[in-house]
Chains A and B, each alone.
Chain A
């Protein structure tokens, strides 16, 4: 699914990797700087000295850098849609929505890579007019130069999905028409699917009676994932919600992981996310079914994989 690397892209990647290696010699010293397909960036040591925003944005930068930088995914003049989880009327500390600084950093990286416009939006569960500001994402994205888009219930279009169980569904055209969709969920507990990660995050791209999907959750998620053809997913585990998800609300259920995983393989990322929550990857029906259907591989260590320590 990866695009063939053009000379221009290759030069860009090399140049940026070299720059990054120069700026952050620690992260790159022991490994070669060739782009990988999945990267886990972990913060080393104390974070208290740092502002939340610094931690989140450094982790995001490093993870994307290891994949070859945002230029690998964004071409000049592209329209990018970033799809975080902004479903709930909760604050960033409650970890029910994606970390606003992770989203803002992605906006900035896309713009730096030449994107014409970076839109951010989600078909929320609670009222978007409340969740957008409450999540902190609206303010962070605006500051980074991105555009918050309210998903409009009257503007969904029935599209042909042609999956195994999902034949057609209401999908938001503005998202599908973007040149790139970056899937940025937060790692959370979910009582039916065990965890809500990248694949489940695509439920914010659709309209209609989404609750029906619970009747064959993994099947619908796999079909939707196949339809979306993910190119870049970023798993936000700066804070994760370990219980009472996906709404949360109690900070006692939130665990600080200071981790960002980014990659091109959605199944691998979901497998990694499940491990963060203390599960085995195969505990997740969507990971099992997704791998069986060839949407990716669960054993992410077999991919071109790199772990980066950030400090």
Chain B
């Protein structure tokens, strides 16, 4: 049944398919700025739901996954039937690598046909190590999962870079206002800027702490296409490896007609996956992306894809992974667990005061066991409050979201981060519930706060406090001024019962460097062990500090 004869139109169908899925991905990235509490654009989590690696690892580490992630079984089914076509036809990251590989091939003379390299094993080692880690509760899959990698890079590195360029350039043009005769440059730059500001950018000047590592890694991974085409897909991608494991005996497979083949090797030169289509009986289904470059490259129509029963296993190349290597990979994973937990915080008795998690985030250990570092929460946050962690939560928490109040506060009437989280690491809470969640506690630095330290009036923290009854109250005290006179000033104090740690006070504090009122993780709702302050007893307002 070899009906699929070599035709270059298959190439164009595939490219169209790739373009559609890449644009859909970009759409999910861009459209996020429109998200409103009662109107979240559909399909935002689509790619993460299609991803069986996210499903497997999250299930292994937390033993519970949202039902929506079960969509990934579609990908599993497709792979069992057709092999790794997901990599060749759908994966937006793969498409990006395709584009960069193409840019490279334009520069160089044709390469000789490639054969399999032992390095292609690396991705299986990565996969095994990550899954072993997940099995023991260390969920680091998001660091290398292609969708998390791509989305995170887009959100925290690419979009902010574009935004910076657009904002800076258009402001420079606006300020200089150059004219050529009657033509003003701003008549072009301003509408373009306004369109992007209103239709693409989430918040003015959006940029993220901790995104430099993400950005460098993203550029590096793209540049690696100059070393080998689709370097990431061949050697690193753990999702590709998982699909490779599933594609060991696909129903659709390559057929190389010996009677037509002249062993020119063009098919293998065209192969971006080093899947050896020229080696009859040694074609590597676990590596093949199903892109059909080989089919189009053959001048003699010797290569085609056909559907055949997977049993008994026909002559094909096998997954290049010995038992010994697999055991070594598992040991690497175990080592990884200890490296990840090499921090006092792993004991869950020590809390980083600067580690403020989004509202609805699970207790730290459980949170880390679900978060896939995808960056969706960072993108939808209307105030750019959420930033990728460095090592605030150890290596284990790399690039997980944390709230930096000085840059953005948690908007009282918003619960978007929980609504978009694909794995439930941030629970989706109703607005009324979310408004009760304490992210931390505000602390007043009386060595900096103006009415305490410098004899000037300022109530900006109290003014902005969004808690309806105000978690900051003002106490009038007499203060001695530098000139020796005294004056009465209103000094802010925090009510720990009411403070939800949203950080708006820190955000608006008149100090732009280090605020005089700061949020620490103390009192956070998600960690019962990190709640030092008891609720005020009703009668304690009258009693002595030592009780009765």
CB < 8 Å: which of A212, A217, A244 contacts B510? Answer: A212
Q: Which residues of B contact A126 (CB under 8 A)?
A: 411, 466
Q: Return B545 CB to nearest CB of chain A, in Å.
A: 27
Q: Which of B418-471 contact A (CB under 8 A)?
A: 450, 456-460, 462-470
Q: Given the complex, which residues of B lie within 8 Å of A130, measured CB to CB?
A: 36, 382, 411, 413-414
Could you tell me if A89 and B412 are in contact, using CB atoms closer than 8 angstroms?
Answer: yes
Q: Is the CB of B458 within 8 A of A211?
A: yes
Majority secondary structure, A binding face:
loop
Say whether B364 faces chain A, with CB atoms less than 8 Å apart. no
Tell whether, in the assembled complex, residue A209 and residue B512 are in contact, meaning their CB atoms are under 8 Å apart.
yes
Q: Report yes or no: B462 in contact with A211, Cβ–Cβ below 8 A.
A: no
Would you give the shortest CB distance from B338 to chain A, in whole angstroms? 43
Q: Which residue of B lies closest to A192 (CB)?
A: B459
Chain A residues closer than 8 Å to B468, beta-carbon distance: 244, 247-250, 253
Answer whether residue B508 sits at the interface, using C-beta atoms and an 8 A cutoff.
Answer: yes
Q: Report B515 CB to chain A, min CB distance, Å.
A: 11
Interface digits, B491-535 against A, CB 8 Å rule (1 contact, 0 not)? Answer: 000000000000000001110100000000000000000000000
Q: Mark A69-92, 1 if CB is under 8 A from B, else 0.
A: 000000000000000000011100
CB B502 to nearest CB in A, in angstroms, measures: 11
A293 interface residue per 8 A CB criterion: no
Q: Which residues of B contact A246 (CB under 8 A)?
A: 463
Q: How many residues of B contact A (CB 8 A)?
A: 37
Tell me the bound Cα distance from A128 to B44 in angstroms.
23
Residues of A within 8 A of B459 (CB): 191-192, 214
Which of chain A's residues have a CB closer than 8 A to the CB of B512?
A: 209
Q: Flag whether A155 is at the interface (Cβ < 8 A).
A: yes
Residues of B within 8 A of A150 (CB): 197-198
- Chain B contacts for A155, CB-based, 8 A: 171, 174
- Report the nearest A residue to B470, measured CB to CB: A244
* Nearest-neighbor residue (CB-CB) of B171 within chain A: A154
Inter-subunit contact B463/A215 (CB<8 Å): no
B204 at the A interface (CB under 8 A) = yes
Question: Measured between alpha carbons, how far is A215 from B510 in the docked complex, in Å?
Answer: 10
* Residue B474 interfacial (CB < 8 Å): yes
List chain B positions with a Cβ less than 8 A from chain A.
Answer: 36, 167, 170-171, 174, 197-198, 203-205, 382-383, 411-414, 450, 456-460, 462-470, 474, 490, 508-510, 512
Interface residues of A (CB under 8 A from B): 88-90, 125-127, 129-130, 133-134, 150, 152-155, 190-192, 209, 211-212, 214-215, 217, 244, 246-250, 253
22 pairs from A and B in contact (CB 8 Å cutoff): A89-B411, A90-B413, A127-B382, A130-B414, A133-B36, A152-B197, A154-B170, A154-B174, A154-B204, A155-B171, A191-B474, A192-B459, A209-B510, A214-B457, A214-B510, A247-B464, A247-B466, A247-B468, A247-B470, A249-B412, A249-B466, A249-B468
